[in-house]
Amino acid sequence: MQRIALFLMTNLAILVVLGIVMSLLEPWLVSQGINVNHATILIIALVFGMGGSIVSLLLSKRMALMSTRARIINNASGATERWLVDTVARQAREAGIGMPDVAIYDAPEPNAFATGASRNKSLVAVSTGLLRNMRQNEVEAVLGHEVAHVANGDMITLTLLQGVLNTFVLILSRVLGQLIDRVVFKSERGYGPGYFISVIVLQIVLGILASMIVMAFSRWREFRADEGGARLAGRENMVAALRRLQSGQSSSLPESVEAFGISGRVGSGFKRLMMSHPPLEERIKALQGGR
């Protein structure tokens, strides 16, 4: 709840600061023939920037279950399910968080993910491919990695960051759109065709830049979760689990969940800037260097 409160306060602070700045600039903008309706712009940013992120966070657990068709283990049947629940329960106690729901989803590749709106109402899910292709000590490390994500509050922090950036994108694209429409396209009111074209282009460009920032944070949090998994299950086991993932198939998680998986698609050059996960080899080296 603290992180959600921080998220709300951060976004509200941004709206207040931007509102003050826009009010100070309004006389100059009006003198240039630009009528900035900053109240409307701030409301749009509030609803679609901050509001959209809050809704996404609150529905993250349900949407993850629906998109992967994961089954929550309510009554463990068989030794594997009992071991999964007991292991997550032990790791959750050690990490100081509430017991997550534990689920299994059908997928051929070894993978797992964690999500949820808070550290005490989260979900840890593993694929059937992970259970088939990994040793128990490696699965334990993967579970530790996901529990570490929950303990670090990564899902909430990622949503906070995305919400803040969404707010900036929505506001800046509209303010700059009016300036461009007035200065470049010579519109008398700043709301001509150039405004709408500029807003669309700016939202795409600024949105890409915002995504690059979010993905950079996502890659960084994977290193931190690996360290958490090493503490909960042993460094050698965490390294072994990542090596096993190197020989597995590429992730087939839905796009809405992929950033929360233990492994994801990677690329080189510009593509790497848009990837949610660093290469597994880099993660292994980081763990080995942390001995």
pLDDT digits (tens, 9 = 90+) for 24-58: 666 666 665 666 666 666 676 666 666 777 777 77
Over pLDDT 90: what percentage of the chain? 44
50-56: Cβ within 8 A, 24+ apart: 50/7, 50/8, 50/11, 50/12, 50/15, 50/163, 50/166, 50/167, 52/163, 52/166, 53/7, 53/159, 53/160, 53/162, 53/163, 53/166, 54/4, 54/7, 54/8, 54/159, 54/163, 56/159
Active site residue 146: yes
Catalytic residue (one of 109, 146, 222, 227): 146
Torsion of CA 203, 204, 206, 207, to 10 degrees: 100
In tens, the pLDDT along 91-136 reads: 999 999 999 999 999 998 899 999 988 888 899 999 999 999 999 9
Predicted pLDDT at 291: 47
pLDDT digits (tens, 9 = 90+) for 210-242: 999 999 999 999 999 999 999 999 999 999 999
Greater confidence, 56 or 169?
169
Contact 260, 115 (CB under 8 A): yes
Q: How far apart are CA 141 and CA 112, in angstroms?
A: 11
Domains recognised in the chain with CATH numbers: 2-65+154-289 (no CATH), 68-151 (3.30.2010.10)
Query: How large is the average pLDDT for residues 155-172?
Result: 82
> What is the average pLDDT value for the chain, to the nearest integer?
83
Q: At residue 283, does pLDDT exceed 90?
A: yes
Identify which of 154, 130, 146 has the alpha carbon closest to the alpha carbon of residue 244: 130
pLDDT of residue 194: 84
The confidence score (pLDDT) of residue 268 equals 64
Which pLDDT does position 249 carry in this prediction? 59
